[in-house]
Structure 1
């Protein structure tokens, strides 16, 4: 079982132009304030980032940044939508918006850069 599976994430869409990963916040994912733990939002955004960045080449994270705007609560469906900002031969940068629901407000914004290898990722 992967970390994403353990947290209950689902990949809804995975294309080089747009990747969507979802997660429903459970009581186990809350912090001391009763809102979703920041690490949960980061993990969701990072999973969408990992999926999109590895679709066409092997990629490893070189730098990431996450800004929190609004809290999420138990029962919220979080939707991470990843899109490319710039994809080069050796480096690529992606933007991931974490939303409450598919069309909901943006709760957090993740930017990440990967180092790319020319070989496609291994299957399986």
Structure 2
């Protein structure tokens, strides 16, 4: 069982121009304040980032940043929507918006850069 599966993530779309991954916040994903744990939100964004950045190349993260805007609560469906900002030959940067629902408000913004190379044959 993968970490993403363990957390209850579902891949909705995956490709080099758009990747979407969702999860529903459960009681085990809450922090001491009763809202979604920052690590849970980061994990969701990071999964979408990993999928999109490895769609056409072999990629590993070199830098990430996550800003939190709003709290998520138990029962909320969160959707991480990943899109490319710039894809070069050896580096690529992606933007991942974590939304409440498919078209809901942005609760967090993740930016990540990967080192990339051709996939092995």
Give the TM-score normalised by the residue count of structure 1. 0.96
Runs of 4+ that moved beyond 2 A: none
For the aligned residue pairs, the C-alpha RMSD in angstroms reads: 0.9
The separation in 1 between residues aligned to 2:99 and 2:119, in whole angstroms, is: 32
Query: Within 5 Å, which residues of 2 pair with 1:53-92?
Result: 53-92=53-92
Please state how far the C-alpha of 1:80 moved relative to its aligned partner: 0.2
Gapped regions of structure 1 (runs ≥ 5): none
Cross-structure match for 2:50: 50
Number of residue-to-residue matches in the alignment: 121
The separation in 2 between residues aligned to 1:94 and 1:73, in whole angstroms, is: 26
Cross-structure match for 1:101: 101
**Partner-residue secondary structure (3-state), 1:15:** coil
The separation in 2 between residues aligned to 1:5 and 1:102, in whole angstroms, is: 19
Gapped regions of structure 2 (runs ≥ 5): none
